Amino acid sequence: MARKNGGLRFQPSGGQRAAAVPAGKKLRLRIERLAADGRGIGFEDGRTWFVSGALAGETVDARVLSAQGKVVQARAERIIEAAALRRQAPCPYVDRCGGCSVQHISHDDQLALKQRQLAEQLAKVGGVAPDAWAKPLVSPEFGYRRRARVAVRWDQAKQRLEVGFRAAASQQIVDIDQCLVLVQPLQSIFQALPGVLRQLNRPRAIGHIELFHGTQSAVLVRHTAPLEDADQARLRAFCAGQGAQLWWQGTGEPHPDDPAGTLAYALTPWDLRLGYRPGDFVQVNEAVNQAMVEQALAWLAPGTQDRVLDLFCGLGNFALPLARLAGEVVGVEGVQGMVDRAATNAIDNGLANATFYQADLSQPLQGAPWAKKGFSAVLLDPPRDGAFETVRHISSLGPRRIVYVSCNPATLARDTVALQQQGYRLKRAGVLDMFPQTSHVEAMALFEKGQDDQAM
């Protein structure tokens, strides 16, 4: 390493250090294979290039986004020789927007990529494959997204408000006229939003905008400074014209412009309506969410004699449908506000057999008062870092069946090892295509312990 004061400079053994690859450099590459996240992988001058927008077998002109050591992040700017499975990307902003990274391949090929990533992680980390693979749970490949954050920034040099989504590997905002993955009720709001924001007297006070759609559409205005009365009135008129609720958020919690305003989404097969607030976790894909809940209930198959535990329960997305079938459901969540809203959702839906508790789910659960009676089944839906501390002692709670919903195949595979060590067998697994046009993989796995294993 080199001293900043100009002292001795040490070289690695074997010769001089290779010259850095500058951002913006362009190179023609042959793509050898696909990475798990859908980027193409190529090799040049001893470096590994990860190229977004490139497919295996293609020759592309790739432009460097960043480089560190022997790894280069790049994007394909021109396809010289195209792979047979390449399709024309439906979105005209695909080369600039950072959202939908794999729409240059068909939806079927996207599903195959996600299935392969899940299988490889289970095999590599857990040394396991399920007894049976479930069919992927899918939705329409466009028009599925019911939540979105819209980036807003004042460009001082251009004296203009930029409104859109972040560019790939950049803080740059891409102005776009439409977003094909938004649900239809949000499309018209999104298209008209830049115009009304640019009419504000103090547009620099806007931090970002969030869009929601459930039983009603809503617009959350995140502001970094108080808005003038005229600007507030303009935004009220805009939302009224769009048939959407208006919510505000400054330094505190979000609050509705109309104090009586509430947000909710429906789980129609179970005649449920779940209230939420901006900032709460709500699955973005309504169709896949419903199919996911249906599959989880079918795999757990709870009866009126069963006591079921729902970990990372959120607003009750799984717990309340489970309560329609099980004798008792206990939901546990780390965020007290969501625990409170889950309890309210149970009351509002007339469910007296579902109770909710706050707990630190990074810690063992055996000593919690609500865990002392044990459970016949457990469902968990943790964040990306998984639930290792939760699952490694989960057999002490007594469940025969466990359904694990994962948004990260790597941590699912890691936690599978901990479950296997407690005598659980991976019976089924499958992909949940919550985010079509992206490489993001969600999955569901069913673990079972036989009667002979209960004493382990």
Cα–Cα–Cα angle for 214, 218, 224, rounded to 5 degrees:
140
Q: Which of 334, 243, 227 is nearest to 280 (CA)?
A: 334
Q: What is the DSSP letter of 125?
A: I
Cα–Cα distance list, 365 to 316, 373, 385, 446 (Å)? 19, 12, 18, 21
Which run of H or E residues covers position 185? helix 184-198
Looking at 91, 100, 179, 407, which residue is catalytic?
Answer: 407
Q: Which residues face 248 on adjacent strands?
A: 221, 255
Strand 47-52, strand 71-81: pairing: parallel
**Has 239 been annotated as catalytic?**
no
Q: Which of 436, 387, 455 is nearest to 140 (CA)?
A: 436
Q: What is the DSSP letter of 228?
A: P
Question: Do 420 and 453 touch, CB atoms closer than 8 A?
Answer: no
Strand 206-213, strand 147-155: pairing: antiparallel
Chain centroid to Cα 328, Å, comes to: 29
- Look at residue 229 and give its three-state secondary structure: helix
Six-digit token string for 296: 């989880």
What whole-number distance in Å separates Cα of residue 205 and Cα of residue 253?
17
Which run of H or E residues covers position 224? none
Long-range contacts of residues 183-190, Cβ cutoff 8 Å, at least 24 apart: 183/143, 183/144, 183/145, 183/146, 183/213, 183/286, 184/143, 185/213, 185/217, 186/145, 186/146, 186/148, 186/211, 186/213, 186/217, 187/143, 188/242, 189/217, 189/219, 189/242, 189/244, 190/148, 190/150
- Look at residue 439 and give its three-state secondary structure: coil
Question: Do 377 and 350 touch, CB atoms closer than 8 A?
Answer: no
Sign of the CA dihedral running 45, 47, 48, 53: negative
What amino acid positions are annotated as catalytic residues? 407
